[in-house]
Structure 1
C-alpha cells in the first residue's frame, strides 16, 4: 500500500518502506503526537523518535526485536510522556539535544549537537539543531542514498509553517533562520518532512510560502 502519513490516535500505524530503512508512523494521545519507529533493513536494529505517550502502544509497535535507542526531539512534555516506561522496558539508549536535555526528566545518555551523526544499524541520521521552538530542538535528516532525503522535524516545521514561538519575534527569527539555512537551503524540494503532529509534507510544498511566513511573523 502507498504511504500517506495520515494517522489518527487509536488508528493503525502507517509504514513507509525505503530500500534501506522502514519508517513506521503512529499517532498517540492525548495531544495527537506522532511517534516514528525506524528499522534498519540490514540489521533489524530499531530507533524510536519521540516516546510521546501511550507506552503500551509504542511497545506493541516495537515488538519483540527490541529497541536500541530513543531520540527525543525537544523538551516539551507531550514528546516524552512514555519515555521512562519505554526505556525501562527496552533498555534503549536515550538521545536529546544538548540544550533541551535538562528539561527532560529521563536521563539523557547522549547529548546531541548540530551535525552529529546518529545510527540505526547501517543507516545514518544527521542531527540539525533548530533554535526557537525550544533552545535545543533537533531534527534528524536521513539522506537516502537511493532517493530523496527524509527529515523528522519534531515541532520545528509543519505543513503551513514553523513551530510555535509564542509571538516572540526573536524566537521566530531564530527558528525561521535555522529552518531555512539548515533545511530549505540545502535540501531538495522532494525532501519528505515528518512532523511531531499531524500530516507529512515536503519542502517543495512549503517553499513557496516562506515569504508569507516571514511577513506574518509566525
Structure 2
C-alpha cells in the first residue's frame, strides 16, 4: 500500500525516488525530490490529480523538511498515450511546471489534453537538475516519440535507474501495433538499453512492478521468436 509520500524506491544522500499507482490501469507516477533544495520532478502525470498533489507535498515534507524552496520544476512524460497524461494539464498548471516529452508525441499530447509540450526531446539530451542528471533515450515502436529517462549516478553504491514508460516491462517490450513496430522497439531496447547498461540496472516501467536488466537479458531471443 502506498503512503501519502509514496513507495520509496531509492533513498540517496542527495535525492529520493518515489512512486504511487493511480487509476484502474495501475499507472505508475514517479517523483524525484532533492534533499538539498526541495526541487522535484514528476514523471508521468497519469491521473488522479488530487492524489498526485498530496504525493508531491508529502514527499517534499518527508525528504526535504529543512528546505524553504520546495517546487515541482518539470513534469516529464514518457509517451503520449492517454492513460499517462490525464492529470498533466492540472499538474503542470497548478505548479507552473515545465512540460517535457518526446517531440514525436507532442502533437498527440496537445490533441488529447490541450497541453502544449514546452520542451520537446529527440533523445541523447541531458536534463540537469539540482541533485541529479537525467539522460534521455528515444525508443520507437510503442509510440513514435517514447522517451526513457536514465538516472546514472556516479556513486557506484547506487544502481542506474531507467524510467521506461511502456516500452520495457518485466518479461517483454510494450504493446506494438505491427510486426515492424515490434522489431523497431525490440531493436531499440536491445541496442540502447541492454547493450549499454549492466545487469544491476533498475527498470521502472509505466505499469506494475520494477525489474532489473539482469532478470531478462537472457530472454531477448525468446521475445523475438514469440513476436511480442
Q: Give me the TM-score of the superposition, normalised by structure 2.
A: 0.88
Residue 50 (structure 2) pairs with residue 56 (structure 1): yes
**Structure 2: how far apart are the matches of 1:18 and 1:140?**
18
**Going by fraction, where is helix more abundant, 1 or 2?**
2
- Which segments of 5 or more consecutive residues in structure 1 lack a partner in the other structure? 1-6
62-71 vs 90-99, which moves further: 62-71
Supply the RMSD in Å over aligned alpha carbons. 1.6
**Structure 2: how far apart are the matches of 1:81 and 1:32?**
13
Alignment of 1:27-42 (within 5 A): 27-42=21-36
| Aligned counterpart, 1:84 | 89
Paired residue for 2:144, among 129, 135, 149?
135
SS class of match (1:170):
helix
SS class of match (1:103):
helix
Residue 110 (structure 2) pairs with residue 110 (structure 1): no
Residue 160 (structure 2) pairs with residue 149 (structure 1): yes
Cα shift at 1:30: 2.4
Number of equivalent positions: 210
**Structure 1: how far apart are the matches of 2:214 and 2:100?**
29
SS class of match (2:93):
helix
Q: Is the 8 A contact 2:5 2:55 kept in 1?
A: no
SS class of match (2:187):
helix
| Aligned counterpart, 2:7 | 14
Cα shift at 1:96: 0.3
Cα shift at 1:165: 0.5
SS class of match (2:104):
coil
- Which deviations, in whole Å up to 9, do the C-alpha atoms of 1:158-210 show, x marking residues without a partner? 001000003x1100010000001110001000000000000000000011111
**Structure 1: how far apart are the matches of 2:87 and 2:74?**
14
**Structure 1: how far apart are the matches of 2:36 and 2:227?**
44
SS class of match (1:104):
helix
| Aligned counterpart, 1:189 | 199
- Which segments of 5 or more consecutive residues in structure 2 lack a partner in the other structure? 61-69
Cα shift at 1:14: 0.6
Q: Is the 8 A contact 2:5 2:18 kept in 1?
A: no
SS class of match (1:99):
helix
Residue 170 (structure 2) pairs with residue 174 (structure 1): no
- Which deviations, in whole Å up to 9, do the C-alpha atoms of 1:24-75 show, x marking residues without a partner? 1100002110000011233221000000000001111111732100001101
| Aligned counterpart, 2:66 | none
Structure 1 runs of 4+ with >4 Å offset: none
Q: Give me the TM-score of the superposition, normalised by structure 1.
A: 0.92
